[in-house]
Amino acid sequence: MNRTVYVNGEYLPETEAKVSIFDRGFLMADAVYEVTSVLGGKLIDFDGHIVRLQRSLDELEINNPYTREEWLNIHRELVQSNDLVDGGIYLQISRGAPNDRDFVWPDPEMTAPTVVLFTQSKPGLANSPSAQAGIKVISIEDIRWGRRDIKTVQLLYPSMGKMMAQKAGADDAWMVQDGHVTEGTSNNAYIVKDGSIITRALSNNILHGITRAAVLRFADEAQMKIEERNFTIEEAQQADEAFITSASAFVTPVVELDGQKISSGAPGSIVPRLREIYLEESMKTAI
Ligand code: PDD
């Protein structure tokens, strides 16, 4: 594969793209990111991702080097130059590379943020096997830091969680804090009971998913009942259906939790319908 990637103002072959060893993203996970899905060559929920990017940057006092239009142009240029049909665009901004390692933040006037974007091709993304069959999830303790609402590249624990899931013969993990599910390692978590969609309320304990916001909006418009509240693993195991949402998984059914089947152990009726609505509606505003 030789993608064209974006690094600090330049479009380059991926093999020629370079970032300093002093980059604070590399040394300290001092960086934020976004993943925007691409379907049929179009960006899904682009504005939602750019708004959240700004929020993450503001929380960490990193300057946003570009306007929305500039971000859009870079995204579109990458889609085009890589002939991207289905997949996603990964965007990362770090606090930049001062000329040494130091815990203290560098002066933003002297050190510009490092900006990196690249494409990831996933042909047939909207019809993935996991969307048809559903995924198996295990529960693990949520031991991440307290600002999970900021989309930082501090992803070691989520990555370990995916490995724990893999070792247990599952696909992913839901994290649990004080007896309640926070979210999945890279997605938001939901259950469905008696027609009601139940998901944890927004706080600093979870990432404010862009897909979450869209799915809850569409569900509300379709007159579905929504409860934003905590739930336990036991409640989830007794639920009628369960699912996750993210920019890359859209709406994906969860059919097993800690080895216990949810209902029949196959996707129900509400979650596949929600996925259909989500894909249909978000394609309407794709740009
Ligand atoms: N993950 N929660 C966590 C911890 C996440 O990492 C993500 C996204 C989400 C869902 O957010 P959104 O709907 O905005 O994608 C929730 C991305 C896709 C990733 O890390 O690849």
Class at the top of the CATH hierarchy for domain 129-285? alpha beta
- Phi, psi of 126, rounded to the nearest 5 degrees: -75, -15
Residue 208 has pLDDT above 80, yes or no: yes
Q: Is the CB of 37 under 6 A from ligand 1?
A: no
| Active-site annotation holder among 42, 122, 151, 225 | 151
Residue reference for tokens 């103002």: 9
Closest atom of ligand 1 to CA, residue 45: 14
For 245-266, the pLDDT digits (tens) are: 999 999 999 999 999 999 999 9
pLDDT band at 46 (very low <50, low <70, confident <90, very high): very high
Half-sphere exposure at residue 145, Cβ-oriented, CA atoms within 13 angstroms: 11
Residue 1 has pLDDT above 90, yes or no: no
The pLDDT value given to residue 257: 98
Question: Same fold for the domain at 4-124 and the one at 129-285?
Answer: no
Q: Which residue's C-alpha comes closest to atom 20 of ligand 1?
A: 186
Read off the tokens for 115. 């900006």
* Residue from 246, 250, 251, 274 whose mutation best tests the ligand 1 pocket (most atoms within 8 A of CB): 246
User: How many C-beta atoms lie closer than 10 Å to residue 173's C-beta?
Assistant: 26
Q: What is the mean pLDDT of the chain?
A: 97
For 170-205, the pLDDT digits (tens) are: 999 999 999 999 999 999 999 999 999 999 999 999
Residue 70 has pLDDT above 90, yes or no: yes
Domain spans in the chain, listed from the N-terminal domain onward: 4-124, 129-285
Read off the tokens for 60. 């960490």
Q: Is the CB of 57 under 6 A from ligand 1?
A: no
Class at the top of the CATH hierarchy for domain 4-124? alpha beta
Q: Is the CB of 44 under 6 A from ligand 1?
A: no
